[in-house]
Amino acid sequence: MSGDPAQSSPDPRLRLMTLAMAGVAVLIAGIQPAVFSLLSPEAQPWNLSIIGAIGLFAAARLGFWQAVGFTGLAIGFKDVNMYLIHGWQPSPLSWPYFIFYAAIGWAFLRRTRSPVQIGTVALSGSLFFFLVSNFACWLQPSLGYERSLEGLGKCYVAAVPFFRGTILGDLAFTGVLFGAYAILSRVYLPTGQTIGIETEEQR
């Protein structure tokens, strides 16, 4: 299992590249609602989001607190646009849901570049989001679900179409971010540079 070049390379250009990638991803999170609003309701990719991928990527390649910061910016930009476009009030529960991605990215991805491990962790984030967010929906009286296992089951079944969007967004955007990083880091990392040494900041 190889370490991350940004953690061991003394070249500041590599870290700057990583920060720039996370920043671009945050901008994408902000404009997604506006782009999706141009589509018909039938074509809307519900729950397809880059925010979970931002948490995973930033935590793995920059650090946990940097990931929390970028994730928070992404949530903020997204919520502002969702309010302006649809009038939807932001949900404070978005923060713990998406910060979970940062936590598992830091815990499981900061020492690896394995596509299998990255994909597995992304799917774990999707599953967590599905289970916890819809459990919270079941608890909301305004949604009308019975306080029973049957009511909880109906809530999860109703959320399956949205779960497909969550999985697609997490896998696609995580793949793009980590894949682009792997390619671009070869440009910025000096040939023969030793990798696999974790910095104190990442510990």
pLDDT in tens, the chain (203 residues): 445 545 544 468 888 999 999 999 999 999 998 888 888 877 778 889 999 999 999 999 999 999 999 999 999 999 998 888 878 777 888 899 999 999 999 999 998 999 999 999 999 999 999 999 999 999 998 889 999 999 999 999 999 999 999 999 999 999 999 999 999 988 877 554 533 334 434 44
Phi, psi of 52 (to 5 degrees): -60, -40
The CATH fold of domain 10-189? Arp2/3 complex 21 kDa subunit ARPC3 (1.10.1760)
How would DSSP label each residue in 14-66? HHHHHHHHHHHHHHHHHHHHHHHTTS-GGG--TT--SHHHHHHHHHHHT-HHH
